């Protein structure tokens, strides 16, 4: 069987595991573990605190620094309310496209990694090939955060990380971060006819939103020179404002859902400190002056680090050489790349399939994209053998 046929076969098996982020990924992790161990890899499983999800870290070849990490997430987005032509958890091959949930995002890449590793002779590697397959990427990169924490204290240091998110095999060296929050306001409920007897949580939520919009304006002037993102500055979005029960009731609770996407780590510090300062020095004291039990609590749903484009990046240069691509780009979607960058690895994003198909009904990956990915992975393995 050719490596490409084997990759397709593995992809069919992986799609069969319904690893929606809220559900367990353990069956899929166990399946991957068996393949990797059979190929001679040392496999370590790190479970989350519930024990229902796990990361997989594998090492093939010698236990030395300077290895290459192939990184992918095992979870997929839900299929509820999506109109699929066929069962999303049963792979269908049609017109040289492989359909199924996760086909391009990103089980196609994981299948290619596994099929390629099956062909390798671990003894021939001079530097290690690692796999990092994580849980909960689609929610808030929780798995990768836990894995990166482990890797910090790891005795051997990999040098390069190739994240196989669907880029159509284009070479991507950067993306914005993504930080999501829900801010909860607690005031005091009362009758609408007596405004001074209550504390209107919605009104304070509105002031908070106004402040977020001011911060948003300030972000434009902070855009780095020659920034390559579109738009080149850090964006901020207010995605929801909820509160209140009836026209004549003073709302005691309100919440604001908001996010921002930093183009540089300094903007992360800027936004979080500006907002915190406003709450602690202005808004909350105003509320508590009228009602001492008033509260403003910000819940962090996820803080995914951006991948900052770097002048020197061995991962980018290697993948450019292997794919024959001339162009390097940045993308609008977030990956686990920034997390791996934060522990000193050179990171590039390059994988089979297109982001346009990800998260959609009838998600697919082209067989030709899988073939290109296998060529790249084969090149990576060859580099590790010399």
How many residues bind to Zn ion according to rule CB under 5 A? 3
In angstroms, the CA 109 to CA 103 distance is: 9
In angstroms, the CA 350 to CA 304 distance is: 19
Q: In angstroms, give the least distance from the CB of 26 to Zn ion.
A: 19
Give the residue with the Cβ less far from Zn ion, 3 or 21: 21
Q: In angstroms, give the least distance from the CB of 345 to Zn ion.
A: 18
Give the residue with the Cβ less far from Zn ion, 106 or 125: 106
Cα separations in angstroms, 188 against 138, 164, 201, 329? 36, 50, 7, 51
Q: In angstroms, give the least distance from the CB of 349 to Zn ion.
A: 10
Q: SS3 for 231?
A: coil
Candidates 50-58, 97-105, 248-256, 261-269: pick the segment binding Zn ion (CB under 5 A): 97-105
Residue 213 burial class via C-beta count within 10 angstroms: exposed 0-12, middle 13-18, buried 19 and up: exposed
Burial track 163-191 (b if 16+ CB lie within 10 A, e otherwise): bbbbbbbbbbbbbbbbbbbbbbbbbbbbe
Candidates 32-40, 64-72, 100-108, 285-293: pick the segment binding Zn ion (CB under 5 A): 100-108
Task: Give me the 206-245 binding string for Zn ion, x by CB under 5 A, dash otherwise.
Answer: ----------------------------------------
Residue ranges in 132-191 that form contacts with Zn ion under rule CB under 5 A: 165
Tokens for 339, please give them.
């997390």
CA 150, chain centre distance (Å): 18
Candidates 58-66, 91-99, 104-112, 212-220: pick the segment binding Zn ion (CB under 5 A): 104-112
Give the residue with the Cβ less far from Zn ion, 105 or 366: 105
Q: SS3 for 124?
A: helix
Q: In angstroms, give the least distance from the CB of 339 to Zn ion.
A: 14
In angstroms, the CA 244 to CA 242 distance is: 7
Which distant-in-sequence residues (6+ apart) come within 8 Å of 62 by Cβ?
125, 126, 127, 128
Q: In angstroms, give the least distance from the CB of 115 to Zn ion.
A: 19
In angstroms, the CA 256 to CA 241 distance is: 5
Q: Which residue among 75, 105, 336, 366 contacts Zn ion (CB under 5 A)?
A: 105
User: Which one is catalytic: 75, 165, 336, 362?
Assistant: 75
The answer to whether residue 75 is catalytic is yes
User: Which one is catalytic: 105, 136, 137, 336?
Assistant: 137
In angstroms, the CA 170 to CA 375 distance is: 14
Q: SS3 for 317?
A: helix
Q: In angstroms, give the least distance from the CB of 46 to Zn ion.
A: 20
Instruction: Note the residues at the interface with Zn ion (CB under 5 A).
Output: 105-106, 165
**Active site residue ranges:** 75, 137
């Amino acid at each position: 069987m050719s490596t490409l046929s084997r990759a397709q076969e593995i992809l069919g098996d992986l799609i069969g595991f319904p690893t929606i982020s809220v559900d367990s990924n353990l069956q899929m992790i166990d399946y991957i573990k068996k393949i990797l161990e059979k190929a001679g890899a040392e496999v370590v499983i790190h479970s989350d605190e519930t024990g229902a999800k796990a990361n997989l870290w594998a090492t093939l070849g010698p236990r030395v620094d300077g290895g290459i990490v192939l990184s992918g997430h095992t979870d997929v987005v839900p299929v509820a309310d999506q109109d699929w032509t066929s069962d999303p958890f049963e792979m269908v091959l049609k017109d040289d496209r492989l359909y199924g949930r996760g086909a391009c995002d990103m089980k196609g890449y994981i299948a290619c990694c596994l099929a390629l590793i099956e062909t390798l002779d671990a003894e021939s590697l001079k530097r290690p090939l690692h796999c990092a397959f994580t849980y909960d990427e689609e929610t808030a990169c929780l798995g990768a955060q836990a894995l990166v924490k482990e890797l910090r204290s790891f005795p051997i240091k990999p040098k390069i990380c190739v994240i196989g998110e669907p880029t159509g095999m284009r070479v991507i060296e950067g993306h914005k971060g993504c930080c999501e929050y829900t801010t909860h306001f607690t005031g005091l409920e009362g009758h609408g006819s007596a405004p001074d007897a209550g504390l209107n949580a919605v009104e304070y939520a509105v002031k908070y939103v106004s402040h977020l919009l001011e911060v948003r304006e300030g972000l434009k002037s902070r855009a780095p020179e020659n920034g390559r993102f579109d738009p080149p500055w850090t964006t901020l979005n207010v995605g929801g404002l909820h509160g209140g029960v009836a026209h004549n009731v003073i709302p005691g609770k309100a919440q604001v859902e908001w996010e921002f996407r930093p183009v540089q780590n300094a903007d992360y510090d800027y936004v979080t400190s500006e907002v915190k300062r406003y709450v602690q020095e202005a808004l909350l004291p105003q509320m508590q002056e009228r009602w001492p039990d008033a509260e403003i609590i910000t819940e962090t749903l996820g803080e995914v680090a951006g991948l900052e484009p770097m002048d020197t990046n061995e991962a980018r240069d290697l993948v450019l050489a292997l794919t024959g691509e001339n162009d390097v780009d940045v993308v609008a979607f977030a990956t686990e790349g920034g997390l791996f960058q934060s522990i000193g690895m050179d990171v590039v994003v390059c994988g089979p399939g297109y982001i346009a198909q990800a998260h959609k009904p009838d998600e697919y990956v082209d067989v030709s994209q899988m073939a290109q990915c296998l060529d790249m992975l084969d090149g990576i393995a060859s580099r590790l053998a010399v």
